[in-house]
Structure 1
Amino acid sequence: MAQTHEWMFYEVMWRGWAGRDRIPYPVPWWAQQAFRRWSDDFDSGTYDSKEAALASNALYRYWHMVGVKDHRQESLIGQAGEIEPVYDKYCLSFFLHDPATGALRLPQLPDAGRVEQRMEAPHLPVVLTAFRTPEDVEFVQRTFATTVGPGGRDLVVTRVTVGSPTGQVREGLLCAAVLPAGPSGFQRHDRNGRHITDRRLTFLRYLPDEQRVETNAGWGPVFDIPPEQYGVHGNTEFSFDPDAYLADSPFHDLVVGGKLNGAPEAQDQVAGLCSAVFAWPFRVVDDAVFEIDVRLPVDVFGGPADLAELRGTPSAELEAANRDFWTAKLLGQGLQPVLPRPVAHLTDLFRQARSQLLILSDHGEIHPGPTVYDSFWIRDSSVEATACSLVGDSALAERQLGTHYPLRFNRGTGRIGPCAEYGFYGGPHEKDDREWDSNGQALWAIGRHDRTSGPRSAFGARLYVPYVRDAARWLRDNRDQYGLLHSGWSAEHLGERDKPHYWDDLWALAGLYEAARLAERIGAPEVGELWGVFDDVKRATGDSIRWVLAEQRRRGAWETYIPTGPADVGRLDSTMIGTAAYFHPLRLHMGSKLGDDIDRAARCTLDTMYAHFVTGGFRHEAAWNAYGPYLTMQLAHAYLLAGDPARMDALLGWTVAAGFPTVAGRAPALGAWNEQHAFPVASDFREVPYNRWYMGDIPHGWAAAEYLLLLRDILFFEADEDRDPHLYIAPGVRPHWVPAGEGIAVDAAPTLFGAPFGYRLAHDPAGRTVTVDVTQAPEGVRFVYPCRFGEVRSAAADGQELAVTGQDVRVPAGTRRFSVTYA
Structure 2
Amino acid sequence: MQRLFVRLLKIFGPRFRLAPLVAEYLARAGRIGKTDQIPTELVPLAARLWARGWFNHNLFDSHRDWILPYWATRQLDPADPGFVARALNPVFLNTAYRNWTTIGNPESKLEAVVDPRGLVTPQPNGDGWSLDAWLRVDAEIFFPSRLDESSITQKPFENLPLVQTQYEPARLRLNQEAFAVQDNDGNDWLIAAYSIENPRGDARTATLFLSLRPFNPEGAALVDHPEWRAAKDSTELWVNDELAALLPPPNAFASSNAEAGDVAFQLDALNGASSIADRTGLATAAAAYELDLRAHTQRVVTVALPMSRTRASNAQAAQWTKPDALPQLKRDFRNRWRTLLAQAMTIRVPDDAIQNAFDANKAFLLLFHDGDSITAGPFLYHEFWFRDAAYMLNALSQLGYHAQVKQVLEKYPRRLRKDGYMLAQDGEWDANGQALWTLEQHTRLSGDFEVLHDQYWNLLNAAHWIDAARQKTKQNGERVPEYGLLPAGMSAEHLGPNDFYFWDDWWGLAGLRAAVLAAKLFNSPDDQAKLQKAYDAFLHDLNSALQHAAHTNDAAWMPASPYRRADSAMVSNLAASYPLQLVPPNDVRITATIDELKRRAFVDGAFFHHVGHGGFGTYLALHIAGSEIFQRKPEAWNAMRFLLKHASPTWTWGEAIHPNTRRGGHGDGHHGWMAADLISFIRNALLFEENDHLVLTPALPDEWVFETASIKVERAATYFGDVDFTLAFGDRNATLVLKGKWREPPMYIEWNLPMEIKNAGGDKEGVELMDAHRVRIPSNVTRVVATF
**TM-score bucket of the superposed structures, by smaller chain:** 0.7 to 0.9
What is aligned with 1:423? Answer: 420
Q: Distance in 2 between matches of 1:780 and 1:121?
A: 36
What is aligned with 2:452? Answer: 460
CA contact (8 A) 2:69 2:217 kept: yes
What is aligned with 2:136? Answer: 97
Displacement of 1:814 in angstroms is: 0.7
Out of 596, 599, 618, which is 2:607 matched to?
618
CA contact (8 A) 1:782 1:812 kept: yes
2:148 aligned with 1:131? no
What is aligned with 1:770? Answer: 734
Same amino acid, percent of matched pairs: 25
- The 1:783–1:820 alpha-carbon spacing in structure 2 relative to 1, beyond 3 Å, is farther
Displacement of 1:470 in angstroms is: 0.9
Q: Secondary structure at the match of 1:609?
A: helix
Displacement of 1:39 in angstroms is: 3.9
**Matches for 1:178-577 after TM superposition, within 5 Å:** 178-186=212-220, 199-209=221-231, 211-223=235-247, 225-235=248-258, 239=259, 244-245=260-261, 249-254=262-267, 258-269=268-279, 271-303=280-312, 306-312=313-319, 314-330=325-341, 332-340=342-350, 343-403=351-411, 405-411=412-418, 422-427=419-424, 429=425, 431=426, 434-454=427-447, 457-465=449-457, 467-479=458-470, 480-481=473-474, 482-497=483-498, 499-524=499-524, 525-553=526-554, 559-568=555-564, 571-577=565-571
Q: Secondary structure at the match of 1:445?
A: helix
2:667 aligned with 1:679? no
1:475 counterpart letter in structure 2: I
CA contact (8 A) 2:766 2:778 kept: no
2:706 aligned with 1:739? yes
2:638 aligned with 1:650? yes
How many residues are paired up? 715
What is aligned with 1:688? Answer: none
What is aligned with 2:24? Answer: none
1:207 counterpart letter in structure 2: R
- The 1:145–1:803 alpha-carbon spacing in structure 2 relative to 1, beyond 3 Å, is closer
Q: Distance in 2 between matches of 1:485 and 1:7?
A: 37
What is aligned with 1:194? Answer: none
CA contact (8 A) 2:738 2:783 kept: yes
What is aligned with 1:196? Answer: none
1:755-774 C-alpha deviation (Å, 9 max, x unpaired): 2111111112x2x2121111
What is aligned with 1:588? Answer: 582
Displacement of 1:105 in angstroms is: 1.6
1:769 counterpart letter in structure 2: N
Displacement of 1:317 in angstroms is: 2.6
2:719 counterpart letter in structure 1: L
1:437-458 C-alpha deviation (Å, 9 max, x unpaired): 111111111111111221x543
1:406 counterpart letter in structure 2: P
1:763 counterpart letter in structure 2: F
1:706-743 C-alpha deviation (Å, 9 max, x unpaired): 111111111101111xxxx2111111222321321121
CA contact (8 A) 1:67 1:73 kept: yes
Displacement of 1:111 in angstroms is: 5.9
- The 1:5–1:697 alpha-carbon spacing in structure 2 relative to 1, beyond 3 Å, is closer
1:483 counterpart letter in structure 2: G
Q: Secondary structure at the match of 1:717?
A: strand
CA contact (8 A) 2:699 2:752 kept: no
Q: Distance in 2 between matches of 1:4 and 1:347?
A: 41
2:464 counterpart letter in structure 1: R
1:639 counterpart letter in structure 2: E
What is aligned with 2:22? Answer: none
CA contact (8 A) 1:84 1:90 kept: yes
What is aligned with 2:680? Answer: 709
- The 1:229–1:583 alpha-carbon spacing in structure 2 relative to 1, beyond 3 Å, is same
CA contact (8 A) 1:792 1:820 kept: yes
Q: Distance in 2 between matches of 1:470 and 1:205?
A: 55
CA contact (8 A) 1:107 1:113 kept: no
Displacement of 1:533 in angstroms is: 0.6
Q: Distance in 1 between matches of 2:377 and 2:511?
A: 25
What is aligned with 1:666? Answer: none
Displacement of 1:12 in angstroms is: 5.6
1:149-177 C-alpha deviation (Å, 9 max, x unpaired): 1x211101111111223232210211111
Q: Secondary structure at the match of 1:789?
A: coil
2:178 aligned with 1:143? yes
Q: Distance in 2 between matches of 1:443 and 1:631?
A: 22
Q: Distance in 2 between matches of 1:383 and 1:8?
A: 35
1:97-156 C-alpha deviation (Å, 9 max, x unpaired): 24xx5422212212699211111111x1111111211x212211111111011x211101
Q: Distance in 1 between matches of 2:625 and 2:149?
A: 41
2:71 aligned with 1:71? no
What is aligned with 2:573? Answer: 579
1:205 counterpart letter in structure 2: E
Displacement of 1:250 in angstroms is: 2.7
CA contact (8 A) 1:205 1:265 kept: yes
Q: Distance in 2 between matches of 1:468 and 1:629?
A: 32
Displacement of 1:792 in angstroms is: 2.0
1:305-353 C-alpha deviation (Å, 9 max, x unpaired): x4213224544332221111111111x111011112xx13312211211
Q: Distance in 1 between matches of 2:326 and 2:200?
A: 28
Q: Secondary structure at the match of 2:106?
A: coil
CA contact (8 A) 2:655 2:665 kept: no
Q: Distance in 2 between matches of 1:801 and 1:76?
A: 54
CA contact (8 A) 1:28 1:183 kept: yes
CA RMSD of aligned residues (A): 2.4
Q: Distance in 2 between matches of 1:166 and 1:68?
A: 37
2:41 aligned with 1:31? no
Q: Secondary structure at the match of 2:243?
A: strand
- The 1:818–1:544 alpha-carbon spacing in structure 2 relative to 1, beyond 3 Å, is same
CA contact (8 A) 1:105 1:113 kept: no
2:212 counterpart letter in structure 1: V
Displacement of 1:57 in angstroms is: 3.0
CA contact (8 A) 1:158 1:294 kept: yes
What is aligned with 1:415? Answer: none
CA contact (8 A) 1:335 1:750 kept: yes
Q: Structure 2: 5+ residue runs without aligned partners? A: 1-15, 17-48, 475-482
Displacement of 1:4 in angstroms is: 11
1:589 counterpart letter in structure 2: V
Give runs of ≥4 in structure 1 deviating > 6 Å: 1-8
- The 1:144–1:581 alpha-carbon spacing in structure 2 relative to 1, beyond 3 Å, is same
2:753 aligned with 1:788? yes
1:565-621 C-alpha deviation (Å, 9 max, x unpaired): 1112xx12101101111110110124x8xxx9xx21222111111232223321001
Q: Distance in 2 between matches of 1:792 and 1:589?
A: 29
- The 1:168–1:641 alpha-carbon spacing in structure 2 relative to 1, beyond 3 Å, is same
Q: Secondary structure at the match of 1:272?
A: coil
Q: Distance in 2 between matches of 1:648 and 1:810?
A: 23
Q: Secondary structure at the match of 1:364?
A: coil
